Amino acid sequence: MALKDTVSRAYSNWMAGSGPENDIVISSRIRVARNMSHFAFPHMLSLEKAEEVIHALTLALENKDLKFSSGHLEVSRMSELSPVERQILVEKHLISPDLLKGHEKKAIALRDDEVLSIMVNEEDHLRVQSLLPGLQLESAWDQVNRLDDELEKTLDYAFSERLGYLSACPTNVGTGLRASVMVHLPGLVHTDQIKGVLNTVSKIGLTVRGLYGEGTEAAGNLFQISNQVTLGHSENEIIQNIVSVTKQLQEREKTARKALYNERRSQLEDRIGRSYGILKYARILSTDEAMKRFSDLRLGIDLNIITDTKPELVTELMVLTRPAFLVSKAGSDMTVFERDVKRAELVRNKLKVK
């Protein structure tokens, strides 16, 4: 079964090291919210009605034209998965944590390459999404748009001439589009510029948040940038806005990295070298420490300070060492301490000097 494969490996195509601008932009995601008319929104649906929604989508996905243009997406009900397997889908960024709540009504349709997927009965009936490595929002939109066009041939969408695609929450109405990029900004963090930069970004209608970690703390120096507003602009305008802001961020990050490299080279190499050493030889690693060290390692690879490890391995490790993944590898419940030991062991093995 395809989904069982998905939850048994950490690697996903969005982690590929070959994406455009991949040294700073880790991945690009496009998601659109769609609802079917004649059905109440998911939180109001009975189990039977929720099942009808899943069934309607399953039939729509069987359509020949759809299969021709978007490939085969396999529908799996969330209830078919164990809690750990469900958590793994979250850790791989394939589903949102919201899809775990009330999972008996919910499902996911996933293409084998894990690029294209549909969350079913989350906040909206359908959340069609595409996830690609590097800065590729346009191609991600292209994939989502094509699948959406095909779905719409057989499904009746809730649409208003004035307000566009209708969503359960009024914050998603209109295009229903959320475009986001995951960016790695260690240069801006280490040169203390990150606050100012992120403040500016949030003033021009974009949302920035740390990808992991609580509150404003961004573990692993990973940030997610996405559009705030879904109504009034065309899909293309929304995407172009994020692309141009991301390119700006990229320039700033490159300048910061250059400054660190030129002006504080020894400190930089020392930090990266220590982190690499710890990852290679430590026996106990907490999630937070691991994320911090991964960020240093990744920066070292991007700056050619470390040459014997590939960047996609670091991204894979970031997912592989999340709690649910470790539990699934160990096959039994673990205490936090046992997890930290297991995490260190896993990282050691992956980074083994050949």
Site map for other proteins, 159-198, x if CB under 8 A?
xxxxxxxx-xxxx-xxx-x---------------------
Q: Please give the Cα distance from 91 to 97 (Å, whole number).
A: 9
Toward other proteins, which CB reaches closer, 170 or 277? 170
Contact between 152 and other proteins per CB under 8 A: yes
Considering only the stretches 4-12, 76-84, 233-241, 255-263, report the one whose residues sit in contact with other proteins under the rule CB under 8 A: 233-241
Contact between 41 and other proteins per CB under 8 A: yes
Give min distance, CB of 295 to other proteins, in A: 29
Contact between 55 and other proteins per CB under 8 A: no
Give min distance, CB of 57 to other proteins, in A: 16
Contact between 122 and other proteins per CB under 8 A: no
Q: 94 CB contacts (<8 Å, ≥6 apart)?
A: 6, 12, 108, 110, 114, 117, 131
Contact between 136 and other proteins per CB under 8 A: no
Contact between 102 and other proteins per CB under 8 A: no
Contact between 39 and other proteins per CB under 8 A: yes
Contact between 119 and other proteins per CB under 8 A: no
Contact between 43 and other proteins per CB under 8 A: yes
Contact between 47 and other proteins per CB under 8 A: no
Amino acid in the structure at residue 149: D
**Token pair of 306, please?**
């470390």
Binding site for other proteins (CB under 8 A): 35, 37, 39-41, 43-44, 123, 145, 148-149, 152-153, 157-166, 168-171, 173-175, 177, 229-235
